[in-house]
Structure 1
Amino acid sequence: MATTSSGTITSVTSNGTSRITGLSSGIDVDSLVEQLMSAEQYKLNRLKQQQQLATWRQEQYREMTTSVTAFADKYLNTLSSSSMLSQSTYTQFAATSSSSAVTVKAGATATAATHTIEVSQLATAATLASSGGITANIQGSTAADFTAAQGSSFVLTVDGTSRTVTLGADAQDVEDLQEAVDTAVGADKVTVSVDDEGLLIFSAAADSGVQQITLAAPSSGGSALTALGFSSSDSLTNRLSTTDTLETVAAKLGTAFSFNDEGQLSFTMNDIAFTFDMDDTLAEMISEINSSDAGVTMKYDSLSDQLSLTATETGAGATLVASEDGGTFLAAVLNQATAGTDAKLTLDGQSLTRSANTLTVDGVTYTLNSVTTEAATIGVTRDTDAIYDAINNFITDYNSLIDLINTKISEDYDSDYPPLTAAQEAEMSESEIEKWNEQATTGLLHSDSMLQNMLSSLRETMLTVVAGQSATFYTIGITTGTYDEKGKLHIDEDKLKAALESNPGEVMDLFCQQSTSYSGTTTVRSLTSSERAVRYKEEGIAYRFYDVLQDYIGTTRDLSGNKGLLLEKAGMENDASNTDNILTDQLNDLAARIEAEEERLEAKETQYYNKYTYMETYISTLTAQLAVFSSDSSSS
């Protein structure tokens, strides 16, 4: 906005339009126009309030859609583990074993029974492994000079515990060194010896239980290692590191392996070829083999100092076939082959052989953990508690869902709390605005006929007899509460569990019997009303629930081309209805009307200013003329 002044006239430029708002007339034009426009603002405010109400209403409908969809996904989806449409929910069994040698799990196709099982042999995987520790003992590269080492020290780490070994001022030979080592780490743990060339060797003492030994220079003071014949290129540990290159690994082994003519390791495992360079690390080799399709697992065990290759499949047969091209890695390192074995067992008197330690017979899955010393007894019983819990969870969540919906449609709307205008919000604090909006959004779905009809339809599903079934919700212990509970269900635990014990099939069919005429879950949206009536009569209560809720949240279009009623009304995110629904159309219409009204108000404001501009200009001109006449009269 630009402002210029000349005499008693002030010119204001706003949005490209020049307006004269000076005080020639003595009138505050801006305040007057503002007051006039405030009266004109009423229609725009009403439109924006309608827009806000429609937005809030859409949000609340979508909240209902989300809650109903979550309930349906959990209990009315055949892929859900808690689906009330699946027979497996009502045919759960508990299995027990008298021995930890065999663990069991009963599936939906199991039957109540008692079994006996004996295990004489477990299935094992074929392996290629080192026959013993593969890393060489720690050995110096030059003869030890004990005189030069006198008074100096080194760090000796035994299985993670580090101690400083200090040679005495009179140390003369390996016996003196051994004494210093025993003093530092304890006797009979690490043996120090010397070979024919005078090279020192550090090794684990026989039957000591010691695994890893490492030498290192002390953090301060003179190091004895150089005088004892160890150079920086010598290996100072009797274990491999997976970060070692394959070239380093070969040098560290007691029996070194060789690379092929290209300086590589090249071998095939179960028809999968592998090639590794000298500078590849042991970790890289292990990772590539284990992530391949060779069906084998390579591992370096630092405790036993052994490298192994194990077939991922257990059982006898060609599960691990390996060959090498040119090098000697397999022959030198993986030189002990153990064939896989099959599991051997006797189940209910029948001898069986399996390649794995897990087998399923007549719905019962047996896991073999160890050989048995005597026959294990397996008991399979119907898991009434688990079935009861599944039904109880369904009823509990159903009650929560209808309670949420009943609360929304029972809230009273207070018209004294319309959406706030921008001017009203400017005069209020954030907490005041929050409290106002909380009241303004209450009751927007009061007595909503669509939600009321959905609840009514759900209640009706439980009252109509399921074709061919004598059981009802009432006979199995499920009843409705008092009138003021608005359709909530209650379970008589003893009665329901008794029904599950005596007539489990009837309870299952009451819930998940499928229509013989129109079965499944994918057909309901494409049926005519007469076909729906046949399906409804023939199917169990859970399927009726599914059908009713699909009428409201179904994303598949029916014969009329419509999606579920809630989606048609308010839409749903991540669906075409998100922008194609009644409330969105209403909001788009309101947005267009608001834009038109804002343009009208802008034109109206300009009109007012133009009128006062003409007046100000006329008065200013008249004032100037009077001044001239007055001047002429004075001079004459």
Structure 2
Amino acid sequence: MVTRISGLASGMDIDEIVSKLMKTERAPLDKLKQKKQTLEWQRDSYREINTKIKDLQELTYTMLRPSTYGAKKVTSSDESAVTATGTTNAASSTIQVNRLASAATYKSSNLSGYTGSDQTLAFQVTAPGATEAKKIEIKVASTDTLDDIVSKINSSGLGVTAIKDKIYNGSEYVETIALTSKATGAGGSIQAADAATASFMTDQLGFAFDSGNKLVASQEGKNAEVVINGLQMEKTSNNFTVNNVTYTLKNTTKSAVSLDVSTDVDTIFNQIKDFVTKYNDLVDTINGKLTEEKYRDYTPLTDEQREAMSDKQVELWEEKAKSGLLRNDTILSGAANQMRTDFYSNVSVNGESLNLTQFGITTSSTYNQRGHLEINEEKLKAKIAEDPDAVANLFMAGTSSKDESYNEKGIMRRFQSVLTDTKKQIEGKAGNSSMSTNDYSIGKNLKQVATDISTWTDRLAQIENRYYAKFTTMDKAIQKLNEQSTYISQMLGQ
């Protein structure tokens, strides 16, 4: 540790002199810090692109599902009675609704005998249409009020909605609990699993049980009765699916309701449009990075430079300093070229050659938007309505097999491959948030730069101490000389 004497004898501002000397000495450290900042900006810029790639990959999986291109629209001739939706292979049908499905209701006679007790109620519950019962337990306490009992029934898995109310029994209003099954349909049951449960439900809550310990319904649940394409059938619910058509029954009908199934052009179009929008966002970002101007005079700011600027000046400076970090990058240029090839190359399906332009999707004529896609909405919608299978083949023909030729693969299968490869290359260069610095090249460079910064920081501390040591020695020598001069003057004066 150097004892620093700030020019007491010499009269010089040693701190200022050392500070100026160290400014020159600090230049290599400043360059290392600038290099570190540049690497971090470059890493973040790569990762920004990988985020967009991941988002597009998710959408690619949707574009590889047959259901995306098989969306159906079902039009009902009487929507007040029946509505429906359809999936791939759905066909038009007729349906007559003779009866709607209804839920079972159970009512207690009165609640005058309720006193409460500590016990666990056990039930075997069978849902309408089910063959196996489910055991349900409800713990009650002697301190529970009737409202507490209702609340516990509603929060249990008993499958009913309980309410407490007063009803007129013919002579007076009495409190009662009504249980309404959450599921419609015939065949459901609620059975007391033991004698204690049956006793509590009967003696304290006033419910009736049959000889099999099952709750007696005041109104039995009923199945819906329908006739679809001339075939009579029963369904436990008013919502059910037959032959890829999901029906929703609202009212009974006196005659058959027609349900016409057609291609859902708008839904399919919007799926393709959403993909193209995200694809264009990725392509525009990559093109922007590849052609971004590099301002070589704008390097990352040193601490001293930053302190001398306002926040707005720093922002404007760094905007230019960050520009062009991925200019002409080989990973990005390779990805951009491959994506354009994947989209514009023909797809061969059963001897037929399909191309994007046939479906109203073309590339932008603007040079700096290379690869940017534009949709002719009218033409694409017409093609979807005319031949949805051809649209599906364009995007998802073929398989993921490596043995399959490139032209036999649909655009999405090709595109999935280039996205995966590009994401992997970028992670090899810039990593991701879960990777250590040793797992990617920029990370290794950052680690080395951090080591060099630490080494230079230690070295600069030694250099600064050496300067102060020299000036301290000089100042002491001057002080001694001054003392000698004073002594000689005093001697001569005598």
- TM category (shorter chain) comes to 0.7 to 0.9
Counterparts of 1:145-184 in structure 2 under 5 Å? none
SS at match of 1:310: strand
| Residue of structure 2 equivalent to 1:552 | 422
| Residues 1:284 and 1:444: Cα distance change in structure 2 (over 3 Å) | farther
**Contact map agreement 2:120 2:137 (CA 8 A) in 1:** no
Unaligned 5+ segments in structure 2 are 126-134, 169-174, 209-214
* Paired residue type of 2:458: E
Counterparts of 1:19-30 in structure 2 under 5 Å? 19-30=4-15
| Residue of structure 1 equivalent to 2:206 | 331
1:608 corresponds, among 467, 474, 484, to: 467
| Residue of structure 2 equivalent to 1:471 | 354
Give, in whole Å, the separation in 2 of the partners of 1:335 and 1:85. Answer: 52
* Paired residue type of 1:571: G
| Residues 1:508 and 1:37: Cα distance change in structure 2 (over 3 Å) | same
1:566 corresponds, among 414, 423, 426, to: 426
Give, in whole Å, the separation in 2 of the partners of 1:343 and 1:127. Answer: 17
| Residue of structure 1 equivalent to 2:382 | 498
| Residues 1:362 and 1:258: Cα distance change in structure 2 (over 3 Å) | same
| Residue of structure 2 equivalent to 1:98 | 77
| Per-residue Cα deviation, 1:185-236 (whole angstroms, up to 9, x for no partner) | xxxxxxxxxxxxxxxxxxxxxxxxxxxxxxxxxxxxxxxxxxxxxxxxxxxx
Give, in whole Å, the separation in 2 of the partners of 1:487 and 1:429. Answer: 40
| Residue of structure 2 equivalent to 1:277 | 141
SS at match of 2:251: coil
**Contact map agreement 1:127 1:320 (CA 8 A) in 2:** no
| Residues 1:577 and 1:406: Cα distance change in structure 2 (over 3 Å) | farther
**Contact map agreement 1:311 1:320 (CA 8 A) in 2:** no
| Residue of structure 2 equivalent to 1:480 | 363
| Number of aligned residue pairs | 464
Give, in whole Å, the separation in 2 of the partners of 1:276 and 1:23. Answer: 90
| Residue of structure 2 equivalent to 1:128 | 106
**Contact map agreement 1:313 1:319 (CA 8 A) in 2:** no
2:308 corresponds to 1:427: yes
* Paired residue type of 2:51: T
Give, in whole Å, the separation in 1 of the partners of 2:477 and 2:120. Answer: 104
* Paired residue type of 2:226: L
Q: CA deviation at 1:25?
A: 3.0
| Residue of structure 2 equivalent to 1:145 | none
Give, in whole Å, the separation in 1 of the partners of 2:19 and 2:120. Answer: 89
2:275 corresponds, among 394, 408, 424, to: 394
SS at match of 1:321: strand
* Paired residue type of 2:151: S
Q: CA deviation at 1:332?
A: 5.8
1:598 corresponds, among 437, 457, 465, to: 457
Give, in whole Å, the separation in 1 of the partners of 2:207 and 2:246. Answer: 42
Q: CA deviation at 1:307?
A: 2.6
Over the matched positions of the two proteins, sequence identity in percent amounts to: 35
| Residue of structure 1 equivalent to 2:411 | 541
| Residue of structure 1 equivalent to 2:328 | 447
| Per-residue Cα deviation, 1:457-481 (whole angstroms, up to 9, x for no partner) | 1011023332434222122222222
Give, in whole Å, the separation in 2 of the partners of 1:277 and 1:402. Answer: 66
| Per-residue Cα deviation, 1:339-381 (whole angstroms, up to 9, x for no partner) | 2111111101001112222221111011122221221111111
Give, in whole Å, the separation in 2 of the partners of 1:577 and 1:498. Answer: 51
Moved more, 467-476 or 352-361: 467-476
| Residues 1:52 and 1:370: Cα distance change in structure 2 (over 3 Å) | same
Which structure is larger by alpha-carbon Rg, 1 or 2? 1
2:26 corresponds to 1:41: yes
**Contact map agreement 2:348 2:354 (CA 8 A) in 1:** no
| Residues 1:435 and 1:119: Cα distance change in structure 2 (over 3 Å) | same
By percentage of residues, which structure has more helix? 2
| Residues 1:68 and 1:266: Cα distance change in structure 2 (over 3 Å) | closer
2:181 corresponds to 1:311: yes
| Residues 1:21 and 1:618: Cα distance change in structure 2 (over 3 Å) | same
**Segments of 4+ moved more than 6 angstroms:** 302-305
**Contact map agreement 1:129 1:336 (CA 8 A) in 2:** yes
**Contact map agreement 2:76 2:82 (CA 8 A) in 1:** yes
**Contact map agreement 2:162 2:177 (CA 8 A) in 1:** yes
Q: CA deviation at 1:579?
A: 6.6
Give, in whole Å, the separation in 2 of the partners of 1:303 and 1:130. Answer: 10
Q: CA deviation at 1:27?
A: 3.1
What's the C-alpha RMSD, in Å, of the aligned pairs? 2.6
SS at match of 1:586: helix
* Paired residue type of 1:84: M
**Contact map agreement 1:97 1:104 (CA 8 A) in 2:** yes
| Residue of structure 2 equivalent to 1:76 | 60
Give, in whole Å, the separation in 2 of the partners of 1:301 and 1:59. Answer: 64
**Contact map agreement 2:430 2:442 (CA 8 A) in 1:** yes
Give, in whole Å, the separation in 2 of the partners of 1:590 and 1:578. Answer: 12
Q: CA deviation at 1:606?
A: 0.9
2:108 corresponds to 1:257: no
| Residue of structure 1 equivalent to 2:130 | none
| Residues 1:317 and 1:579: Cα distance change in structure 2 (over 3 Å) | farther
| Residue of structure 1 equivalent to 2:129 | none
| Per-residue Cα deviation, 1:588-620 (whole angstroms, up to 9, x for no partner) | 211111111111111111111111222222222
* Paired residue type of 2:60: L
**Contact map agreement 1:268 1:324 (CA 8 A) in 2:** no
Q: CA deviation at 1:336?
A: 5.7
**Contact map agreement 1:259 1:265 (CA 8 A) in 2:** no
Give, in whole Å, the separation in 2 of the partners of 1:20 and 1:550. Answer: 64
Normalising by structure 1, what TM-score?
0.68
Give, in whole Å, the separation in 2 of the partners of 1:316 and 1:581. Answer: 63
| Residue of structure 2 equivalent to 1:85 | 64
**Contact map agreement 1:126 1:311 (CA 8 A) in 2:** yes
| Residues 1:258 and 1:306: Cα distance change in structure 2 (over 3 Å) | closer
Unaligned 5+ segments in structure 1 are 1-15, 78-82, 135-249, 251-255, 520-530, 554-563
Give, in whole Å, the separation in 2 of the partners of 1:353 and 1:401. Answer: 52
